[in-house]
Amino acid sequence: MNKTSCLGLAALLAATLLPAVAAAQEGTGAGKRPNFVLLLIDDAAYSDLGAYGGEARTPNIDRLAAQGAVFTQYHSSPLCSPSRAMLLTGVDNHRTGFATIPETLPVEQQGRPGYRMRFEPGVETVATRLKAAGYRSYMTGKWHLGHGPGELPDALGFDRSFVLDASGADNWEQKPYMPYYTSADWFEDGKPATLPKDFYSSEFLVDQMIRYLEKDRARREPFLAYIAFQAVHIPVQAPREFTANYDGVYDGGWGQMREARWRRAQERGLIPQGAPLAPVHEKLRSWESLDAEERALYARSMQVHAGMLEAMDHHIGRLVDYLKAQGQFENTVFLITSDNGPEPSNPVAQAGFRTWMSRNGYTHELGNLGEKGSMCFIGPEWANATASPGNLFKFHSSEGGMRVPLIAAGPGIAPGRRLVGTSFVTDVTPTIYDYAGIDRARWNGPVPMSGRSLKPALSGAVPRVYAADEPVGMEVGGNAALFKGDYKLTKISLPWGDAKWRLYNLATDPGEVQDLSEKEPERYRAMLADYAAYEQEAGVLRLPDDFNPHKQVKINAIKKQLHHYRFVLGGAAIVLASLLLMWLRRRILRAGA
């Protein structure tokens, strides 16, 4: 080959390869692009983790918190699928296609834009966008953002994934946790998968993530590792050795723990000194009203809850150790949060649930509570207590349902910071883009993001990323909120609310005790107008004030069961009809004789 030909070939290769290399190295600048480890806890309350004053031993998470920043006014949505969709896209939940969760979706909203329970066209995940910038992406854990081909992580940017597509499942075995499901469907890279015999959710999810990272250890591209834990979703389950660490800790009951967490939140600077604690809701029982047997069972339930958090933290520590051994830890940004506030449900109290439990190998007994074959939950009273200093819990737009922990640590994040500015679940994805060095012009796809990068606050450049006069709305299943500076306008649905709008100053009243709607009528009306504008822009389909998401779950569960067992029920109906016809025929023959 002559010199001219060589030069021509070199030019052709350069023209072909340089754009791809530039895309892969986009935003590297003079430094090395960081890895990202995104750890999502399921149903963790604001004050559950040790760094936020909880009783559970979470030393690995606490060390990351000490090395980085703790957010004091970070808000997610009050339900899991909307939160997860916003977390992974930076887009408002109605625009993602997950305005609510399938389990609470009323028939009036089914199939409508924003309510299709799958990602809408043009909505891109953080994994898709990072891949275009030269990252590799992995996920293990709960997905709950679509079912089947084209709707699982393998089709949405993740190179490797091992996921549960349902709202939850057993932590010890591959089986469902509620009658809404007939099975626990896990998928690896989009194909049906089977869990190992020695499965425990937190351990397996970390093991699988390490396997993916280890297999690709020779690859030089930075990575996103997203682990969506089952802890501490129902069924609350943990190995006995972790649960045993909390013997006696919760024997004083939920009222005592709620006040203790409220005091610790003040001591740690998470809320202002003297911030009021909300009165206990009239529907919640007092600890003293329980008999000795009930107290023992509920105290043990909370022990399992703490044990499950500790077990999760223990396995997070193994991931941290792996990254340190591989020389990756110092160049990794960790983001740790929860999808919503604590779960208040008491499934065992629902009609027919104990029968379903017996058919599916579950018990609710003190002796093996939280272990294999056990159905454990903490119920509304403990849920309200774990959300302290907030009020109420998951499903609702109170602070107990929306204010959750967020910890950020890694390169470029100053240690020991308390970030008090209001922030949201939609801010996580743009923050990742900012740290990855992706050009801001490429942040938005066909569907624009709603969130902001938190990097300026994490670096100390600004105290908050949202201006005091900037409204941010959120709505899930009739529960709604509008944030503007330190103020929050909120409407809480049945059965724990009355669907009336109230106004609070979260800077002084994180427990939402003092309604300011009458004291500040101009602000109240202005924020109502802001919410109406958000509702229209986001495509919110308004629900009637008497909508009850808890009742809707029961209705949808019954419909699901009728669908699951339609052939059995149809066969039974045919048999009964045949028997009835035979009986009628005999009566007629006897009458004729």
Cβ atoms within 10 Å of 437's Cβ, excluding its own: 15
| Residue 243: strand, helix, or coil | helix
Contact predicate 400/384, CB 8 Å: yes
Residue 364 designated active-site: no
What is the four-CA torsion angle of 35, 41, 44, 50, rounded to 10 degrees? -50
Q: Which residues contact 210 (CB under 8 A, 6 or more apart)?
A: 318, 319, 322
What is the chain's percent helix, strand, coil content, to nearest 5?
40, 15, 45
What is the four-CA torsion angle of 528, 531, 537, 538, rounded to 10 degrees? -150
Tokens 């626990």: give the residue. Answer: 184
Mutual angle of helices 566-592 and 549-564, in 10-degree steps: 70
Of 108, 113, 72, 111, nearest in space to 93 by CA: 113
Contact predicate 542/100, CB 8 Å: no
Catalytic residue among 144, 233, 314, 396: 144
CA atoms within 13 A on the CB side of 326: 21
How many angstroms separate the CA atoms of 49 and 448, rounded?
A: 33
Structure tokens at 377: 């939950």
Classify residue 186 by its DSSP letter: E
Angstrom distances, CA of residue 319 to CA of 150, 197, 314: 29, 22, 9
Residue 144 designated active-site: yes
Contact predicate 454/74, CB 8 Å: no
Angle, vertex CA 424, rays to CA 423 and CA 430, nearest 5: 95
CA 138 to centroid of chain Cα atoms: 18
How many angstroms separate the CA atoms of 333 and 346, rounded?
A: 37
Mutual angle of helices 292-325 and 254-267, in 10-degree steps: 40
Catalytic residue among 75, 80, 364, 396: 80
Of 483, 417, 424, nearest in space to 453 by CA: 424
First-to-last C-alpha distance (Å) of the chain? 110
Structure tokens at 56: 């559970």
**Residue 468 φ/ψ, nearest 5 degrees:** -65, -25
Return the sign of the alpha-carbon dihedral for residues 238, 244, 249, 253.
positive
Structure tokens at 29: 């600048």
- Just list the catalytic residues: 80, 144
